[in-house]
Structure 1
Amino acid sequence: MRWGIRRSHRLGIALSGGGARGFAHIRVLRVLVEAGWKPEIVTGTSAGGIVGGLFAAGLAPERIEALARRIGWRLFMRLDPNGNALVGTDRWARFLREAVGDVRIEDLPVRFAAVAVDLDTGEEIWIDRGPLVEAMLATSAFPGVFPPVWWEGRRLVDGGVLNPLPVDVARALGATFVIGVDLSWVEPGRTDRRFPEELPGPLLVRWLTRRARWSRTLEGVFRSVGIMARWITESRLAQAPPDWLIRVPTGDIPVFALDLAPEIMERGERAARAALAGLEQAMARPRWLRRFLPQAA
């Protein structure tokens, strides 16, 4: 391993959104860290902002995976008491606070920013200061499903609306070599799994059976958003490509398929291991050359 080359760069990683697909980020980080690639800068959108925030707070990937295995539908089975969305996030917020406490982003051991969108102005917001838990809630506040989060007088929602894979944010924070992790890719021959597979467990099934109209509506919403996110991701990658792109083939998995966490993490691990050799070679190239050579694994 050419440690001199690595030391000459400030390594950043940009983690994309994707709901439950975000479980893949945990194993990607684990593989990279075990191979000696520990990011100094982490940016994330939605699920990527949650996993990235936990990592930036100093939690080892193994610890994040242990937390992920405790995530279940009971954390999201309460209606929003204020009527601003379908699901309340009080239990989810408590779960995150138990993991990281009341730490502020500016006090984290790893530089971090989460991407959100101002619901009223449509502006892209980079949250790089303030309470970490609030940032993680804001970047993952899927419009209509989870309530907006107030931050410095703004109502913020999921950053995937504008920037699903925040490579540009990592560069702005000072990264000289950026790894992008995209969860929207679908392997050729695979088709999207249908929405009912997103509803594991009798409790949730009963809850949504009484709201069958919601179930049908959400299926259309999530499929449409998934298509939109793929196109936005490709557009943003063309404008601001990473130095190395890891594509995890999870685009066929429903965004709320929490029951598929083991499979999702396994896909993330396979993609990361396949990327290691090319990653070493890419870092050895001058940046101007990286723009003209294949960047994806």
Structure 2
Amino acid sequence: MTVQTSSGPALVLGGGGVLGAFQAGFLKALFRTGFRPSMIVGTSAGARNAAFMAFRPDADGAAELARIWTSLRDRQLFFFNPMRAAVQLMSGGLCLSRNDMLRTLVERNVSVDNFAATAVPLYITTTNLARACKQVFHEGPVSRAVLASAAVPGIFCPIEIEGDLHIDGGVVANLDIETAVDLGATEIIAVDLSRCMDGRRPSNLASLLMQTLDVIQRQRVDHDVGALAARARITLLQPSPDGGFGLGDFHHVDRLLEEGERMGESALALCMGPDGRMKPGVIHDPLHLHEWPAHAA
């Protein structure tokens, strides 16, 4: 099976903490087909995956990305300490957790820390606090943009870039299909992780903050997809992996990678047309394709 890429599908990767491992599993299945995106747009956890794949946009790169996620399975993206959180809140701190591990992860796995060095165009979405708007980075250090895009408000400290503070891009565009369309993409494959925490009960302040952000993100994704489906051929994957994990808990990485790869293989079999192009619509789990009205047969 080979994905037809002459028209240059864009790849858009949304955020979702450890669910980025599910996304990485899907990318393994996708890139095994010979897929090569015309551009990659990433937000939050999707920004980390996007940055890596922009440097190595092939099957070997996707396999290495999965290995990186596997290496994190006994760690946590953030460490929530109630005592430290109380001190931070009382002293006027801007975050509950340090992002040292994330910084190290990004810096170690970005081969040349500059957007100009990527093999395919890379766009990283952040939220500019000073200007109260979305900002998309395409120049300068990749690691800085990725850290800013993944700076979950209240959990990770904002990242200062050129005098402005930036936080998680998911606040304004967790699945930034809009940027891909505005840049001229007419075919898009997008992975939306905003449906993955349905029905979960938050276990601490950090998970409450992340699930609150998740609700906001879902509303924006629904709005953007509805508005943009008529302007581009969008294939949207919306997985619902089995529960039992937190967005910052990496103990379930192996299972998420396996589920992502399995769903990717099934989705490709379901949605690949005879011309090698992906059918437009939303792929839900349990697996079925809901085509957009404008594209329905």
TM-score, normalised by the number of residues in structure 2: 0.80
Change in CA separation of 1:290 and 1:228 when aligned onto 2, cut-off 3 Å: closer
| Structure 1 contact 104–129 (Cα < 8 Å) conserved | yes
Question: Is the counterpart of residue 191 in structure 1 residue 191 in structure 2?
Answer: no
* Higher mean displacement: 36-45 or 233-242: 233-242
In the alignment, the residues of structure 1 paired with residue 105 and residue 36 of structure 2 have an alpha-carbon distance, to the nearest angstrom, of 26
AA matched with 2:148: A
SS in 1 for 2:178: helix
The 5 Å alignment of 1:101-112 reads 101-112=111-122
Report runs of 4+ in structure 1 exceeding 6 Å deviation. Answer: 78-82
Unaligned runs of 5+ in 1: 197-214
- 2:75 alignment counterpart: 73
Q: Distance in 1 between matches of 2:196 and 2:248?
A: 17
- In the alignment, what sits opposite 1:257? 249
User: 209, 213, 218: which is aligned to 1:225?
Assistant: 213
Kindly indicate whether the alpha-carbon contact (under 8 Å) linking 1:185 and 1:251 is maintained by their aligned counterparts in 2.
Answer: no
Q: Tell me which moved more, 54-63 or 82-91.
A: 82-91
The 3-state SS of whatever aligns with 1:179 is strand
Alpha carbons 2:19, 2:247 under 8 Å: kept: yes
SS in 2 for 1:35: coil
Match 1:268 to one of 246, 249, 260: 260
Structure 2 gaps of 5+ residues are 281-290
The Cα shift of 1:75 comes to 6.2
Q: RMSD of the alignment, in Å?
A: 3.1
Count of aligned pairs: 270
Match of 1:135, SS?
Answer: helix
User: SS where residue 180 of structure 1 aligns?
Assistant: strand
Q: Does the residue aligned with 2:294 lie in a helix, a strand or coil?
A: coil
Residue 124 of structure 1 aligns with an amino acid whose one-letter code is K
TM-score norm. by structure 1 comes to: 0.80
Specify the SS of the correspondent of 1:145: strand
* Distance change (3 Å), C-alpha of 1:294 and 1:44: farther
In the aligned structure 1, how far is the partner of 2:292 from the partner of 2:269? 15
Matched, 1:244 2:235: yes
Return the offset for 1:234.
1.3
**Which moved further from structure 2: 139-148 or 165-174?**
165-174
**Aligned partners of 1:70, 1:294: CA distance in 2, in Å?**
42
Partners of 1:161 and 1:284 in 2: CA distance? 29
Alpha-carbon shift at residue 147 of structure 1 (Å):
0.9
**How big is the shift at 1:50?**
0.7
Verify the 8 A CA contact 2:175 2:221 in the aligned structure 1. Answer: yes
Matches within 5 A, 1:1-297: 6-58=4-56, 60-71=61-72, 72-73=74-75, 76-77=78-79, 83-186=93-196, 191-192=199-200, 194-196=201-203, 215=204, 217-241=205-229, 243-250=234-241, 253-281=245-273, 283=277, 292-293=294-295
